[in-house]
């Protein structure tokens, strides 16, 4: 049978999910293998070095670099408070004394008798890594982090912005083709993650942010509104670190696109459940997709993954097109021609034929689609 291998856009009602939770620098892991965690539990901590401030002491004091240590009131390694004297001259007339004050609260790191500079460092910044999902620790990586395993519903979106967040799942529309407008956002959605239908308006997101909604999952979004939401043109980058006070996950594409019926029904069936989402997305140079994870109430290890096994495409498989002009459209594989074909760009590539729900079909490069795991 003809196969084509491609990354899968997963939609699984019940599957085993392993989440790697790692520190940016070596630090301390706080949990042990086998521990049962809540999404809000801290699993590891580390400290990022504080910002360094350089002070040209000799210019301020009017002395020679080789004499700097003779005028210091503090030594290397000492802690200091902002505006605390750290060095001073001792002239015969007190009114001629020059005093050097610390520009920050932190630590004196280096006193150089070569350059005449003092390097001060701000206090280290603590970094905490949370479990993000309710689950069980299945692996501990010493000083690095852990792997948390959970069994639950797993859905990948096609694009997202905003980082990790956790909340209660709420359905804000009646069907997958509805538009979630500002009048549908109520105070009861505070601290929740809500599901829209085919489209969300920019004003709706702004109202949701004011109310305190943690996240929105919706079929489509206007790319012009994305620039308004971020305050800049995103360009080609990995998302997920935006400071926009909300996480947005698009399941289908840009524009008004009905959320896939199965995706909507799956989310609707888990309304009221605790949900973990992450909007991080990268299309090129290593695909990263936004994720929706809804753990089951009871967690057990060793449960078999009920999602699609790693295999190639087959006729009849559901796929989503991820490039223009059919971006975001969902269909089923109608044919998998074996021989490469010449496409509009004059490149010769392997293609497939996709049959869409409206009865139309299209021939697209195989690299322009993703498998949907159901």
SS (H, E, C) 184-252: HCCHHHCCEEEECCCEECHHHHHHHHHHCCCEEEEEEECHHHHHHHHCCCCCCCCCCCCCCCCEEEEEE
Burial label, 294 (beta-carbon count in 10 A; 0-12, 13-18, 19+)? buried
pLDDT of residue 77: 95
pLDDT of residue 371: 76
In 3D space, the residue among 350, 346, 342 whose CA is nearest the CA of residue 368 turns out to be 350
Q: What's the token pair of residue 69?
A: 């240590």
CA distance 82 to 304: 57
pLDDT digits (tens, 9 = 90+) for 152-203: 999 999 899 999 999 999 999 999 999 999 999 999 999 999 999 999 999 9
Q: Domains along the chain?
A: 52-121 (2.40.50), 158-289 (3.50.30), 317-371 (2.30.30)
Torsion of CA 199, 204, 208, 209, to 10 degrees: 110
pLDDT of residue 298: 67
Ranges of residues in the chain with a pLDDT under 50 are: 1-7, 301-311
pLDDT digits (tens, 9 = 90+) for 34-45: 999 999 999 999
pLDDT digits (tens, 9 = 90+) for 238-285: 888 899 999 999 998 888 888 888 899 999 999 999 999 999 998 665
Q: What's the token pair of residue 196?
A: 């829209």
pLDDT of residue 284: 63
Torsion of CA 197, 201, 205, 211, to 10 degrees: -80
pLDDT of residue 301: 47
pLDDT of residue 374: 59
pLDDT of residue 325: 86
Cis peptide before 325 (omega within 30 of 0): yes
């Amino acid at each position: 049978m003809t196969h084509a291998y491609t990354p899968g856009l997963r939609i699984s009602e019940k599957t085993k999910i392993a989440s790697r939770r790692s520190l940016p620098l070596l630090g301390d892991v706080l949990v042990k293998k086998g521990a049962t965690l809540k999404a809000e539990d801290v699993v590891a901590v580390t400290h990022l070095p504080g910002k360094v401030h350089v002070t040209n002491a000799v210019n301020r004091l009017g002395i020679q670099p080789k004499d700097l240590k003779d005028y210091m009131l503090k030594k290397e390694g000492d802690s200091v408070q902002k505006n605390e004297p750290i060095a001073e001259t001792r002239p015969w007339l007190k009114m001629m004394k020059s005093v050097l004050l610390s520009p920050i609260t932190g630590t004196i790191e280096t006193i150089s008798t070569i350059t005449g500079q003092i390097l001060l460092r701000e206090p280290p910044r603590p970094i905490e890594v949370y479990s993000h999902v309710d689950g069980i620790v299945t692996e501990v990586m010493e000083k690095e982090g852990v792997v948390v395993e959970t069994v639950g519903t797993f859905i990948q979106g096609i694009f997202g912005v905003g980082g990790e967040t956790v909340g209660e799942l709420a359905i804000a529309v009646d069907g997958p083709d509805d538009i979630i407008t500002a009048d549908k956002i109520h105070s009861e959605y505070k601290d929740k993650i809500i599901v829209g239908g085919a489209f969300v308006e920019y004003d709706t997101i702004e109202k949701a942010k004011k109310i305190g909604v943690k996240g929105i999952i919706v079929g489509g979004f206007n790319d012009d509104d994305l620039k308004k939401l971020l305050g800049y043109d995103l360009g080609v980058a990995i998302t997920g670190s935006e400071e926009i006070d909300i996480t947005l996950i698009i399941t289908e594409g840009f524009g008004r696109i009905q959320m896939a019926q199965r995706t909507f029904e799956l989310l609707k069936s888990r309304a009221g459940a605790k949900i973990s989402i992450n909007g991080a997305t990268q299309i090129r140079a290593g695909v990263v997709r936004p994720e929706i994870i809804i753990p089951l109430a009871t967690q057990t290890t060793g449960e078999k993954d009920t999602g699609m096994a790693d295999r190639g495409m087959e006729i009849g498989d559901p796929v989503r097109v991820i490039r223009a002009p059919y971006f975001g459209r969902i269909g089923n594989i109608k044919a998998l021609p074996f021989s490469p074909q010449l496409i509009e760009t004059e490149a010769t590539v392997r293609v497939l034929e996709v049959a869409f729900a409206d009865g139309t079909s299209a021939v697209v490069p195989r690299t322009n689609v993703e498998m949907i795991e159901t």
